[in-house]
Structure 1
């Protein structure tokens, strides 16, 4: 009987990492949960005087709900179904989800309608500039509120150790920051070069072209970009790629 492949997953240390582990196990993998993102709330809330408000994550949805934020008459936009579900779970109505679950997808869907509009973007401190620049280029007046900062958790890096010893068969990176923090964790252990060599032998899957570009710029060879910006698609396609190896 074949041994289940070891697959690193870097989701935040909450129900997202639990769900990711369960999904990978159901696909026949041996998950290596190694959270690379910890949330530090800023205490700020989105403005309420815009025409549109954009939220980009489940974390953001939960933080604004905890703060009692009221979007008023703003058009509430969510990048992707996971963010939309999180907003609806905490009592907000979602008015718009882009066809492509990315910053560029949102810009593409809204750019014809936002000339002169006021848009509030509420997200982490590591959001893609594509969203702000794209909406501004479309003629919108854009304001960004940083809801939380993303830091590398203490003790992260078990997956980097496995990569360094050649015992990691795949890795699922969900953002540029997870790639950067993975390599920081490897650096902290004095194993960056060995971890990079280990990833070269593994299947590396990512969400989004920006993540792929970051990874390649840091020396990580990317094998696949998920067909849609969800962890479900990333996990399934990474496991499929492993089976083809």
Structure 2
């Protein structure tokens, strides 16, 4: 592979983006870093009287800890990254679903939470699948928004590269990264050109909901990893985008 394999990555401009860039470079790709998400804390803290408390992200854990949150009951984490953040913050982790998703957590708790108070602490773009599924399981669900996810005003370099046909791959890690990418195309009046440019690239989506969002907007998705894991996503897209794969 050469450094001409240009892969757009949209992770927030923190350690997640730095790690993504490092991984892509290690894979021999040329990362086009274009953060499509930024975190705006609300200053809220999870309720401390739940029978179950669910954290869905490392960011949420860090913000809860900063607000002095003390957990009660069973603490649940969606995914190893969130669980690791909880432990590093000094909290116990009682449950991690086998499938790292809202659906997986609902399945893990189904039959256990009827009549229980369940606190869900996450961003303002959390999937309703989690809260609705818990409600259907008989839980009394309360949701606390710990942070909002917004699009950085400087985002959009990947839009221009896509429109010019200068991307070999793109890594969408949530439905919101798709929506914010398209908002950036509209700001530049380049939606049709950018989508056309992506049609000649290898487009990866972290999971089926992200794929559905992209394809609903006319972006064809070429790769979805078996697990909702960024490294797996990046490896799959880089491999397919490599010149030797395309020959």
Give TM-score scaled by structure 2 length: 0.96
Q: How has the CA–CA distance of structure 1 residues 3 and 41 changed in structure 2, closer, same or farther, with 3 Å as cutoff? A: closer
Q: Which residue of 1 aligns with 2:84?
A: 85
- Tell me if the contact between 1:76 and 1:96 (Cα under 8 Å) persists in the aligned partners: yes
How far apart are 1:226 and its partner, in Å? 1.5
Q: Which runs of 5+ in 2 are unaligned?
A: none
* RMSD over aligned Cα atoms: 1.2
User: Deviations for 1:26-58, whole angstroms, at most 9, x for unmatched residues?
Assistant: 111111111100111111111111111111111
- Tell me if the contact between 1:4 and 1:28 (Cα under 8 Å) persists in the aligned partners: no
Structure-1 separation of matches of 2:64 and 2:90: 11
Q: Which residue of 2 aligns with 1:124?
A: 123
Q: Which residue of 2 aligns with 1:169?
A: 168
Q: Which residue of 1 aligns with 2:28?
A: 28
1:240 aligns with 2:239: yes
Q: Which residue of 1 aligns with 2:184?
A: 185
How far apart are 1:102 and its partner, in Å? 0.7
How far apart are 1:188 and its partner, in Å? 0.8
Off by >4 Å, runs of 4+ in structure 1: none
1:222 aligns with 2:211: no
Q: How many residues align?
A: 244
- Greater CA deviation, 105-114 or 148-157? 105-114
How far apart are 1:233 and its partner, in Å? 1.3
1:154 aligns with 2:150: no
Following superposition of structure 1 onto structure 2, how do residues 51-130 of structure 1 map, counting pairs within 5 Å? 51-72=51-72, 74-130=73-129
- Tell me if the contact between 2:163 and 2:194 (Cα under 8 Å) persists in the aligned partners: yes
Structure-2 separation of matches of 1:53 and 1:3: 45
Structure-1 separation of matches of 2:37 and 2:236: 23
How far apart are 1:216 and its partner, in Å? 0.9
1:43 aligns with 2:49: no
How far apart are 1:207 and its partner, in Å? 1.1
Structure-2 separation of matches of 1:51 and 1:234: 35
Structure-2 separation of matches of 1:4 and 1:194: 21
How far apart are 1:238 and its partner, in Å? 1.3
Q: Which runs of 5+ in 1 are unaligned?
A: none
